């Protein structure tokens, strides 16, 4: 895991306690160093302080999301609800308001990592020519593996587990984003990316169908009736 914190005292304390808890910890003090680490090293989780000397942590979060889908817990002294909503919508998996205990951080880390790993039991979902292997976190369409981000996979798996069922946006926010509130635009953006990778559009859907004012459903494409004129 990577701790991004510019305060040397706080960083040293976090490293010591997290190492004692059995974590392998890397640490940096700037946003640019964090981006370099994320691009070069496979990380399980990032704890990101917002008060960084070279770049605001909120901007660093957006840049991190451009290069990796590693889970991110934001550590912030800002407790403004609107700011927290923006951070969650920009890709944070969780947040902690300073000051916090290492025990509290460890509990949040465990929860975030559990969600990121997904169900541990073998489970393969098939909807038409779409195959979603939940345990391996792999998805394929007509045999071709799809290059999905972690959030795109979670969204697809959640819908694939309920084929033909209209899933409410509130449920998607709660189960996929782990948020009790948020902006519908977050869902729309991820649906747009997912549709592109499934080879469809909102105007010409094949698997993903938006039910206006209700939610989204995933179902296999309709099989043409050979007896019906095209």
Is-contact 28 71, C-beta < 8 A?
no
pLDDT (tens digit, 0 to 9) for every residue of the chain, 230 residues total? Answer: 899 998 888 889 888 888 887 778 899 999 999 998 888 888 889 999 988 899 888 888 888 888 788 889 998 887 777 888 888 888 888 888 888 888 888 888 887 877 766 554 448 899 999 999 988 889 999 999 999 988 899 999 999 988 888 888 888 887 787 766 666 788 888 999 999 999 999 999 999 999 887 889 999 987 654 555 54
CA distance 57 to 17: 23
**CB within 8 A of 217, min separation 6: which ones?**
159, 162, 163, 164, 165, 166, 167, 208, 209, 211
Residue ranges per domain, the chain? 2-117, 124-218
pTM above the 0.75 mark?
A: no
Concatenated DSSP letters for 202-229?
Answer: SSS-SSEEEETTTEEEE-PPPPP-TTS-
CATH of domain 124-218: 1.10.10.10
Place domain 2-117 in its CATH homologous superfamily. Answer: Response regulator (3.40.50.2300)
């Amino acid at each position: 895991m990577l701790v991004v914190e510019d305060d040397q005292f706080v960083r040293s304390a976090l490293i010591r306690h997290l190492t004692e808890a059995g974590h392998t910890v890397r640490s940096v003090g700037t946003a640019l160093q964090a981006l370099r680490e994320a691009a070069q090293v496979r990380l399980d989780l990032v704890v990101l302080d917002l008060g960084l000397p070279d770049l605001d942590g909120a901007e660093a979060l957006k840049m991190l999301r451009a290069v990796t889908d590693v889970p991110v817990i934001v550590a912030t002294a800002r407790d403004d609800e609107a700011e927290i909503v923006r951070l969650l919508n920009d890709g944070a998996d969780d947040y902690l308001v300073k000051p916090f205990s290492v025990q509290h951080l460890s509990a949040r880390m465990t929860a975030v990592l559990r969600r990121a790993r997904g169900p541990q039991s073998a489970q393969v979902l098939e909807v038409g020519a779409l195959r979603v292997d939940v345990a391996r976190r792999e998805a394929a369409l007509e045999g071709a593996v799809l290059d999905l981000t972690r959030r795109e996979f979670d969204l697809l798996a959640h819908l694939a587990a309920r084929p033909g069922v209209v899933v409410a946006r509130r449920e998607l926010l709660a189960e996929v984003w782990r948020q009790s509130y948020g902006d519908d635009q977050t869902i729309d953006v991820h649906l747009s990316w997912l549709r592109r990778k499934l080879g469809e559009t909102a105007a010409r859907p094949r698997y993903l169908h938006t039910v206006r004012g209700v939610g989204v459903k995933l179902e296999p494409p309709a099989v043409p009736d050979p007896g019906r004129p095209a």
